[in-house]
């Protein structure tokens, strides 16, 4: 299951399914046909480049493994159409932005990313959104058809007892944490200064002194869109936070600039580029308020006072979280942090591997003992807004790294057993799907040992 879910989709260098000229002036060719979908040689090459950029290994011949994986993806996407499965465009955009930022971080600059993929950033972003959307569709198909796997304790024990000793997984250190946060105050003078800058940008745009895209490129603090002159790509209302969407989708004149909009991410001005039905493409400039050091110090002092009350047992950590914490996700849960990483074996539980925690929290709790309360520290808010908040944390449980066993790691073993059963169901479904799907493979691409039988008919 995880292998299929984690498969990255290709970036499409060419969009036609016929023999066409690509950017490298080499005639493209169809190497596989699955149903009514063609797989191009260029698609295989783009997929291979993506894997290389992410330093992933492929066991065996990439020109056997990659087209088979693309074909498997197409079978799942066909099922998504049959099931009328949809995805949330806002989540697609969020994940696509993470990919783009990772590309830029890995390669060094937006210009180098464009050079690597031989496309402009707008095309890379659109292709990345397509990739993420298809990933989400596949995950949703798998969840619908194979998500409901329930094994009895005896079946889980049987699965564990069959694992060879040298294959029993090593479980990294896991930790359970409570948190209390305090948001530093942002002075009115800071927000007023940001609004004044945005009003100045608006005047420059309206007067023709500067274009919106130039100012976005120079000054916007949204790195994913700034490199594209603030362009966000075609999206529907659900792709944006409500405050942004309400203003953006009220725009009708591409020559006008919106009023200043405040969201959890900061302050924006927005320009409409084009509408297509219920979707639209916008530019925006984002400026984020910078918290003055004295306000960070003030938040730290407040948290230090709260920690003193906890240390002297005048209040419990749970009470501090409930009555004082600004973290809306944990304050009603006595400060207990819950793992929201769907790829984690501990999803939905209070357990985290250190690399699954907010990096600032992980740096603090790495060497803390159970029951210990940290000193106040500054962290970047985990919701992606980039805001600085002051925090204290308490370690409530810690399990050091060890080989998995049923006593300490029942949930992990259970997840492994369920994933193994789920993979069996997926394999069975794919074999049946392959039998009933038209497949044609170019003779030069047939000399492979495929994972699934039935491709060659």
Which tokens belong to 219?
């000054």
DSSP line for 17-72: SSS-B-TTS-B--EEEEETTEEEEHHHHHHHHHHHHHTT---SS-HHHHHHHHHHH
The whole-number average pLDDT for the span 431-450 is 93
* Nearest one of 236, 18, 265 to 129, comparing CA atoms: 236
pLDDT for the residue numbered 337: 95
pLDDT for 401 beyond 80: yes
Could you give the 3-state DSSP secondary structure of residue 154?
A: helix
pLDDT for the residue numbered 118: 84
Top-confidence residue, 120 or 214: 214
pLDDT for the residue numbered 54: 67
Mean pLDDT lowest among 51-55, 56-60, 283-287: 51-55
- pLDDT classification of 314: cutoffs 50, 70, 90: very high
The whole-number average pLDDT for the span 276-305 is 93
To the nearest whole percent, how much of the chain has pLDDT over 90?
61
pLDDT for 215 beyond 90: yes
Taken as a whole, the chain contains a residue count of: 457
Q: Is the CA virtual torsion 312, 316, 321, 322 positive or negative? A: negative
Top-confidence residue, 382 or 351: 351
* Nearest one of 118, 110, 321 to 224, comparing CA atoms: 110
Dihedral, 306, 311, 313, 315 alpha carbons, nearest 10: 20
DSSP line for 394-406: EEEEEE--EE--T
Mean pLDDT lowest among 16-20, 41-45, 129-133, 270-274: 16-20
The whole-number average pLDDT for the span 237-251 is 92
pLDDT digits (tens, 9 = 90+) for 107-147: 878 888 888 888 888 888 888 888 899 999 999 999 999 98
pLDDT for the residue numbered 6: 35
pLDDT for the residue numbered 28: 82
pLDDT for the residue numbered 382: 59
pLDDT for the residue numbered 221: 92
- pLDDT classification of 49: cutoffs 50, 70, 90: confident
pLDDT for 217 beyond 50: yes
pLDDT for 158 beyond 90: yes
Distance CA 360, CA 5 (A): 28
pLDDT for 56 beyond 70: yes
Q: Of the ranges 161-175, 311-325, 372-386, which is most confident? A: 311-325
- pLDDT classification of 270: cutoffs 50, 70, 90: very high
- pLDDT classification of 383: cutoffs 50, 70, 90: low
pLDDT for the residue numbered 12: 34
The whole-number average pLDDT for the span 414-442 is 93
The whole-number average pLDDT for the span 363-384 is 88
How far from 36 is each of 19, 78, 127, 312, CA to CA, in Å? 16, 10, 21, 71
The whole-number average pLDDT for the span 417-446 is 94
pLDDT for the residue numbered 412: 85
First to last CA, the chain: 26
The whole-number average pLDDT for the span 314-333 is 92
**Domains and their CATH numbers in the chain:** 2-150+417-445 (1.10.4030), 170-186+291-403 (3.10.50.40), 188-287 (3.10.50.40)
Mean pLDDT lowest among 2-6, 161-165, 371-375: 2-6
Identify the bridge partners of residue 37 per DSSP, sorted by sequence position.
34
User: pTM to 2 decimals?
Assistant: 0.58
The whole-number average pLDDT for the span 137-162 is 93
Mean pLDDT lowest among 11-25, 122-136, 245-259: 11-25
Could you give the 3-state DSSP secondary structure of residue 122?
A: helix
pLDDT for the residue numbered 8: 33
pLDDT for the residue numbered 361: 94
Distance CA 239, CA 258 (A): 18
DSSP classification of residue 83:
T
What is the chain's alpha carbon radius of gyration, rounded to the nearest angstrom? 26
pLDDT for the residue numbered 21: 33
pLDDT for the residue numbered 1: 36
pLDDT for the residue numbered 396: 96
pLDDT for the residue numbered 385: 62
pLDDT for the residue numbered 144: 92
pLDDT for the residue numbered 58: 78
pLDDT for the residue numbered 98: 79
pLDDT for the residue numbered 14: 35
Mean pLDDT lowest among 146-155, 247-256, 263-272, 379-388: 379-388
């Amino acid at each position: 299951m995880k292998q299929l879910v984690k498969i990255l989709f290709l970036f499409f260098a060419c969009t036609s399914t016929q023999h066409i000229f690509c950017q490298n002036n080499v005639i493209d060719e169809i190497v596989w046909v699955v149903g009514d979908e063609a797989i191009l040689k260029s698609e295989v090459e783009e997929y291979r480049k993506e894997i290389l950029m992410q330093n992933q290994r492929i066991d065996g011949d990439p020109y056997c493994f990659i087209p088979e994986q693309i074909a498997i993806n197409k079978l799942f996407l066909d099922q998504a159409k049959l099931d009328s499965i949809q995805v949330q465009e806002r989540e697609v955009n969020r994940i696509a932005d993470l990919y783009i930022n990772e590309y830029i971080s890995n390669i060094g600059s937006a210009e180098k990313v464009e050079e690597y993929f031989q496309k402009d950033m707008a095309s890379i972003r659109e292709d990345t959104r397509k990739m993420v959307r298809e990933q989400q569709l596949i995950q949703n198909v798998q969840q619908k058809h194979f998500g409901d796997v329930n094994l009895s304790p005896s079946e889980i024990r049987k699965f564990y007892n069959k694992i060879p000793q040298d294959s029993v997984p090593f479980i990294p250190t896991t930790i359970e944490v409570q948190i209390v946060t305090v948001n530093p105050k942002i002075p009115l003078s800071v927000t007023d200064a940001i609004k004044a800058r945005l009003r100045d940008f608006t005047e420059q745009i309206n007067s023709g002194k500067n274009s919106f895209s130039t100012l976005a490129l120079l000054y916007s603090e949204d790195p994913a869109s700034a490199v594209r002159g603030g362009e966000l790509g075609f999206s529907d209302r659900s792709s944006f936070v409500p405050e942004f969407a309400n203003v953006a989708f009220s725009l009708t004149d591409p020559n006008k600039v919106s009023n200043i909009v405040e969201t959890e991410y900061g302050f924006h001005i927005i320009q409409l580029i084009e509408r297509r039905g219920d979707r639209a493409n916008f530019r925006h400039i984002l400026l984020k308020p910078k918290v003055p050091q004295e306000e960070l110090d003030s938040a730290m002092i407040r948290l230090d006072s709260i920690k003193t009350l906890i240390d002297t047992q005048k209040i419990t950590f749970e009470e501090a979280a409930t009555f004082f914490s600004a973290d809306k996700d944990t304050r009603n849960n006595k400060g207990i942090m819950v793992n929201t990483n769907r790829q984690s074996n501990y999803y939905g539980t209070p357990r985290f591997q250190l690399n699954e925690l907010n990096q600032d929290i992980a740096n603090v709790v790495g060497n803390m003992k159970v029951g210990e309360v940290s000193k106040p520290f500054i962290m970047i808010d985990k919701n992606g807004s980039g805001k600085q908040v002051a925090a204290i944390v308490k370690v409530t449980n810690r399990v050091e790294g060890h080989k998995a066993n049923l006593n300490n790691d029942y949930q992990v073993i259970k997840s492994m057993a369920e994933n193994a059963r789920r993979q069996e169901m997926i394999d069975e479904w794919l074999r049946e799907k392959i039998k009933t799907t038209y497949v044609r493979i170019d003779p030069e691409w047939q000399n492979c040992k495929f994972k699934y039988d039935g491709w060659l008919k």
